[in-house]
Structure 1
Amino acid sequence: MTAETKSAQDRARAAQDAIAARHLRPLFGWVPGTLLGGVAWPPVGRPLSRAAITSSWNLWWQAHLVDLLVDGYIHRFDDHCGIAAGRLMRGIWIRNGFRWTNQYYDDMAWLGLAAERVSRHVPRENTADFSGTAARLSSVMVDAWRPRLGGGIPWRTTDTFFNAPANGPAAILLARTGRHDRSVAMADWMDASLRLPSGLIADGVWHRPNGDLELDSATFTYCQGVALGAEVEAYRLTGADVHLDRIDALLRAVAARMTVDGVIRGAGGGDGGLFAGILARYLAFTATDLPPRADDLRARAGRLVLDSADAAWANRALDADGRPVFGPDWHRPAALPDGSGSAARKIGGAVAASSVPERDLSVQISAGILLESAVSVTIGSSEHTGSATPD
């Protein structure tokens, strides 16, 4: 193992250990064979207290925590991560009312991706088989397709807002569950409907009651990430150079508009805490799963991941046990939360940040994803082939 690889692995392991120690607990504090990620540290109330029970329930945060644990298993064959991923999936199912679905298509797409990765990467002796979960949620994404309304799939079952955060992960999930034509169609729809003159992908488009389509041109890092992931999958499935051209344009726009001195910019806490980590994951996917003929794209994507990881690590704080605490902006020093002020809370369909964003599970997961993504880039861990130079 080279010094560079050891450093990347040690950092990622430290982030995983910190999240496990501070956030991972059995459901309701006692349900056997389950885990759930506490949304805040220091926590909100004691287990089973009113404050703890009524604290924000964020399915998509938990799905990304599953994905992070799968990363730990892939990169270090860490059985603790593999077992925890399965227990977390069970905790999600129970906490979500003994079902895998809710009214948000983006939540379901993320959970489907997590289930698919657990099933594909973690051996059965460490976890249950969640391939049926992935297949079911994949079917939900297919059924949500609304071309007559200008989509795409909507953000949630009650909306006519067709956005990148739903279509991007859905396209990636469909690519990985055998729904190839629809996956490519989703990537094409995002490029045709959401790409801005800047090269970035817009948040989404509204279908108004009068039939008009109204673009919401807000740009977020995670929208770029899921678009990259969808395009890499589309290239893998078709071999069409148009997808490489789109990836090139996205990388240029991200580097120019979504970084600070080469470091992916943050979006605060709450739901925004996950945005940068999602971009980092799919930048790493671009770096590891494009073919050798796309070496320039691979190198540019990987550099953004590695530079961001170096900055996040350099700017970490340490808790009383010497474990890392990461900030929402990786180019700035992190603060150490003390439990004062408000914790993350649901407002409408989104989760607002804690008074100190470092308190939020989303912020710590995001940094963990970044550091595991740096491992992927460093060791050449391809999502699909396990090779640094996939076919």
Structure 2
Amino acid sequence: MISSSTPLTAWQDRADHAARSVTGLFGRKLLFLPGTHLAAVVWQGRRQAWLLLPWHYWWQAHYVDCLVDTGLRELGGGATPAARFNGPDQPSAGHLASRLVTGMRLRNALTFVNSYYDDMAWLALAALRLDRLAEETRRPGRRRNARVRASLTPQFDAACTDDLGGGTFWSKKRDFKNTPATAPVALFYARTGQRAKAQALLDWLDATLFDPGQGLYLDGARPGPAGDVLVERSLYTYNQGPVLGALLELGGDANLARAAAVVDSVRRLLTVPAGGGGTAAGTVLRCEGTGDGGLFTGILCRYLALAAADGRLPEATRATAAALVLDTAGAFWSGRRPVHAGEATVTSEGRSIFSVHAAQPAGRTYPPGAPVELATQLQAWMALEAAAAVMSADPAAVPPALS
């Protein structure tokens, strides 16, 4: 049973605060070019030379997705200047996301294609959601979003082969197929009407990478020296998220039963005790550290929020998914710390730093002066957006404890 004592408006305010913090601390124009936006991959209280920093394509793709989340809430508020997360005189979240997609193409050598199929799948999914937001708000940019799909769909088609029995290659080395690539590609296919392709990818995941003993999806598979299949048995939080999304998108009794089982297994095996972040006793989703792992739990929260609002799932499953999202987001919120005076420029006042781990306070994982990674801040933002989505879902689809 979860607490619904925090009202929807408070979760929306928290998500807006996270949006302002991330865009304010990390967001910049690309090389001062008008009509562009991009996020620095690290913040340490000062601006850094863009081209000297590493290029993390998929971090930016999730930045797009976070801005779409915020844009959808702005749409719910009437899509007026007064509803904008950063004030009426600032660009809307959807407008900023469009600039970000433009910035990504320029920074990525004038193309949306790169060497990793999972990276491209995350951008394709974000661009789909951005396109729907543009349609709802009657904003320009839909031709560009269509170009994203047109350039990336052939990449996915080429990555989905019969090698190893099916699935999607992770990179253009074509020596490893894994859940991080196969699941978001399956979700992309499902959302673009290619349901048979999506189901075939899910069937491969179920046959090759689903661990029935744990009820979760393992990391990947590669060809062995004797022509066999070698399974990489690492277990990550974010692998479960896009599989859950694809299962729900396709629906059907078997997929929905598997989705419910995954939610339960996440609760049993991918949570840790709360309390270190100043939260109440209980459990929160485990987090996977910095680097790419800094995004993992936020991604899982995004798709757990879909499960929490899906009336086709059992009430207990929806309540579990909602509790995982709200408790984890609440821990990120209560464990945040302010940007201290003297730590950065005056424009950073009122911003917050979120912890690497939901179960630990930000003051411990990111003390003043420490470099702060974009991935970890997007993770907390995603969790807070997921919590706002859970609380704003159709009351008919949300368990009674949440409505």
Match of 2:28 among 21, 25, 28: 25
| TM-score normalized with structure 1 length | 0.87
Partner of 2:319: 299
C-alpha distance in 1 between matches for 2:48 and 2:175: 40
Kindly indicate whether the alpha-carbon contact (under 8 Å) linking 1:225 and 1:280 is maintained by their aligned counterparts in 2: yes
SS in 2 for 1:27: coil
| 2:11 corresponds to 1:46 | no
Whole-Å separation in 2 of the counterparts to 1:234 and 1:204: 22
Amino acid at match of 2:96: A
Say if 1:41 and 1:337, in contact at 8 Å, map to a contact too.
no
Please state if 1:328 is matched with 2:356: yes
Is 1:365 aligned to residue 378 of structure 2? Answer: yes
Runs of 4+ in structure 1 deviating by more than 3 angstroms, as ranges, are 43-47, 126-129, 336-340, 387-390
Say whether residues 1:227 and 2:237 are aligned partners. no
Alpha-carbon distance in 2 for matches of 1:212, 1:292:
38
CA distance in 2: counterparts of 1:112 and 1:316, whole angstroms: 31
- Counterpart of 1:215 in 2: which secondary structure? strand
Q: Is the 8 A contact 1:168 1:226 kept in 2?
A: yes
Separation in 1, partners of 2:60, 2:311? 32
Distance 1:226 1:94 in 2: 27
Instruction: Please tell me whether the aligned partners of residues 113 and 151 of structure 2 are also in contact (alpha carbons under 8 angstroms).
Output: no
Residues 281 and 293 of structure 1: is their aligned pair in 2 closer, same or farther, counting only changes over 3 Å?
A: closer
User: Whole-Å Cα distance in 2 between the matches of residues 103 and 227 of structure 1?
Assistant: 22
> Judging changes above 3 Å, is the alpha-carbon distance between structure 1 residues 3 and 76 closer, same or farther for their aligned structure 2 residues?
farther
Give 1:132 shift. 3.1
Query: Contact between 2:8 and 2:391, CA under 8 Å: does it hold in 1?
Result: yes
Query: How far did residue 291 of structure 1 move?
Result: 2.8
- What letter corresponds to residue 103 of structure 1 in structure 2? S
Please give the secondary structure, in 2, of the residue aligned with 1:76: helix
Structure 2 partner of 1:125: 139
Does the alignment pair 1:389 with 2:397?
A: yes
Query: Which residue type is aligned with residue 7 of structure 2?
Result: E
Aligned equivalent of 1:352? none
Cα distance in 2, alignment partners of residues 46 and 366 from structure 1: 22
| Structure 2 match to 1:34 | 36
Name the residue aligned to 2:265.
253
Aligned to 2:7: 4
Give me the whole-angstrom Cα distance separating, in 2, the residues matched to 1:126 and 1:24: 22
Quote the Cα distance in structure 2 between the aligned partners of 1:18 and 1:126: 26
Does the aligned pair in 2 maintain the 1:200–1:250 contact within 8 Å? yes
What RMSD, in angstroms, separates the aligned Cα atoms of the two structures? 2.0
Query: Residues 40, 148 of structure 1: CA spacing in aligned structure 2 closer, same or farther, 3 A cutoff?
Result: closer
**What is aligned with 1:348?**
none
What residue in structure 2 maps to residue 193 of structure 1?
208
Q: Quick check: 1:115 aligned with 2:127?
A: yes
Q: Does 1:287 align with 2:308?
A: yes
Segments of 5+ residues of structure 1 without an aligned counterpart are 341-355, 382-386
Work out whether residues 42 and 373 of structure 2, in 8 Å CA contact, stay in contact via their aligned partners in 1.
Answer: yes
Q: CA offsets per residue over residues 175-200 of structure 1, 9 Å max, x none?
A: 11121110111112111111112111
Partner of 1:345: none
Report if the CA contact (8 A) 1:175-1:233 is conserved: yes
Structure 2: gaps of 5 or more residues: 76-83, 85-90, 274-282, 341-348, 399-403
Task: State the distance in 2 between where 1:187 and 1:170 align.
Answer: 10
Equivalent residue, structure 1, for 2:168 = 153
Per the TM alignment, residue 307 of structure 1 is displaced from its structure 2 partner at its CA by 0.9
Quote the Cα distance in structure 2 between the aligned partners of 1:126 and 1:269.
36
Of 306, 310, 313, the residue aligned with 2:330 is 310
Per-residue CA deviations over 1:99-136 (Å, capped at 9, x if unaligned) read: 11011000010011111111112334254530331243
- Secondary structure of the structure 2 residue equivalent to 1:260: strand
2-structure distance, mates of 1:223, 1:10: 29
